[in-house]
Amino acid sequence: MRVLLIGSGGREHALAWKIAQSPRLGKLYCAPGNPGTAEVAENVEIKSDDVAGLVKFAREQKIDLAIVGPEDPLCLGLIDELAAAEIRAFGPDKAAARIEGDKAFAKELMRHRSVPTADARIFTKYKDARTYIASRDHPIVLKAAGLAKGKGVIVCDDPADALIALERIMVAKEFGSAGDTVVVEERLVGSEISLLAFVDRDSIYIMESAQDHKPIGDGDTGPNTGGMGAYSPTTLLNDKLIRQIESEILVPIVDALRTQGITYRGVLYTGLMVTTAGPKVLEFNCRFGDPEAQPLLMRLRTDLLDVCEAVVDDRLDRVTLNWDPRAAVCVVLASGGYPGQYESGKAIAGLEATAAMPDVVVFHAGTRKVGSKTVTAGGRVLGVTALGETIPDAQRRAYDACARIRFDGAYCRRDIASKAT
């Protein structure tokens, strides 16, 4: 098979790493890719949001299957354009991807189907949102309704802080047009988890569980990021809870899309808060989470190409997902200053040393090559991921690997997966 993978982050390196293991793979291209994907694929200098360029390349190279990693090209309608060019592609179309690209749309879907989620109001005018927030006396969460690369959610302990956050989103346009509409919702209390599922026209197949760590600091302190690490499986879910999430959340939301004439195919990511009243939805994403993809794909034993093709062909019910029983922990090494201002171009040392460690993979997220050197090129630089017999064992191995990698200003949380230990 000739496969085109779209994207350039840690998730895409993990996808490329997994796809490259398929005996059915003939040629793997990654657009635009990164130094990590270059180890298992041929990188192509086409940006992930260049829809026309990607379709043209796929047609010229006679691509058998395109796999779209990030949310931006999905929300731009890349799947639709590939389909129009008669190129098979894995991922939801533009209408289905709106479940991530428009948080207000997702909130309305949940409201109409009584899917458990935080009470919320949606605003398109700053003045109206400000008046509403000023009337509240409880902790508030503000969300830019559009795509904000995982940073458009601001948790506020006090309504006064929420007013400042609202000004950042709607007046200062810190997240650009993503903040033209805001969702103002109650702050949920509990444990946050991630549950991902493959979905086709007729089936929902839930993957192993994971837990992300979004705040920048230990103990879930500081501003939200795109994710500072993740582990799988989480000890916070049991079979009963998973069945409840499937029946009360996943099935109703897929059905709600279907009633609007939308067939969901791809990965459906559900971010959940497990509260004393049961699981409630924080957000939906239309793709693999990053960094949840890294530990999940480290544990997946089934050929990913087989699964992706089954989704595209609506035969997911014929697939069986097999998982490594061991745990996996991913620790993100970030640039100092992230998620705020940070410097790039810092030389990275120690990658060779970690490459020799068994059951450890360092996934590139924000790196580039300068001559023979690998240097930093983003806020989240590397996703250091390890397998272990237990979660504490995988955690220890991941941090041992992190200790071998050095670049100026390197930062990581020191408590990834500690909630499970």
List, for residues 328-387, the tens digit of each pLDDT value: 999 999 999 999 999 999 999 999 999 999 999 999 999 999 999 999 999 999 999 999
Q: Is 147 part of any domain?
A: yes
Secondary structure (3-state) at 301: coil
Low-confidence ranges of the chain (pLDDT < 50): none
Q: What's the confidence (pLDDT) of residue 145? A: 94
Name the 3-class secondary structure at 414.
Answer: coil
Q: Which of 275, 295, 318 is the last residue of a domain?
A: 318
395 and 347 together in one domain: yes
pLDDT of res. 249: 98
What residues does 67 pair with on adjacent strands? 5, 90
Same domain, 278 and 303: yes
Check whether residue 265 and residue 195 sit in a common domain: yes
pLDDT of the residue at 148: 85
Strands (E), 168-316: 182-186, 191-199, 204-206, 211-212, 215-217, 221-224, 229-232, 266-275, 278-285
Cis peptide before 32 (omega within 30 of 0): yes
Q: Are residues 349 and 304 in the same domain?
A: no
Q: Which residue reads 């360092």 in tokens?
A: 362
Residue type, 412: C
| Residue 148 belongs to some domain of the structure | yes
Which pair of structure tokens corresponds to residue 218? 């230990």
Is the pTM value of this prediction over 0.85? yes
Q: Give the angle 271-256-316 at the CA atoms, nearest 5°.
A: 70
Same domain, yes or no: 206 and 146: no
Q: Are residues 308 and 346 in the same domain?
A: no
What size, in residues, is the chain? 421
Q: What is the DSSP letter of 190?
A: S
Residue 101, in any domain of the structure = no
| 8 Å CB contact between 270 and 281 | yes
Could you give the number of structural domains in the chain? Answer: 4
CATH for 358: 3.90.600.10
Are 224 and 308 in a shared domain? yes
Rg of the chain over CA atoms, in angstroms? 20
Residue type, 209: S
pLDDT digits (tens, 9 = 90+) for 135-166: 999 999 999 999 987 778 999 999 999 999 99
Q: Both 33 and 141 in a single domain?
A: no
CA separation for the pair 292, 267 (Å, rounded) = 12
Residues 229 and 297 occupy one common structural domain: yes
- Regarding whether 301 and 213 lie in a shared domain, the answer is yes
- The answer to whether the beta carbons of residues 294 and 12 sit under 8 Å apart is no
Residue 108 domain-assigned? no
Domain residues for 257? 191-318
Residue 100 forms part of a structural domain: no
pLDDT at 150: 72
Tell me: do 378 and 284 sit in the same domain. no
- Tell me if 117 is assigned to some domain: no
Instruction: Check residue 151 and give its pLDDT.
Output: 77
Q: What is the pLDDT of residue 130?
A: 96
Give the DSSP letter of residue 245: H
In a domain, 279, yes or no: yes
In terms of domains, do 255 and 333 share one?
no
Spatial separation of the C-alpha atoms in residues 287 and 299, rounded to whole Å: 18
Rounded (to 5) percent helix, strand, coil in the chain: 35, 30, 40
* Domain membership flag for residue 150: yes
Distance CA 26, CA 23 (A): 8
**Among residues 270, 296, 318, which one ends one of the domains?**
318
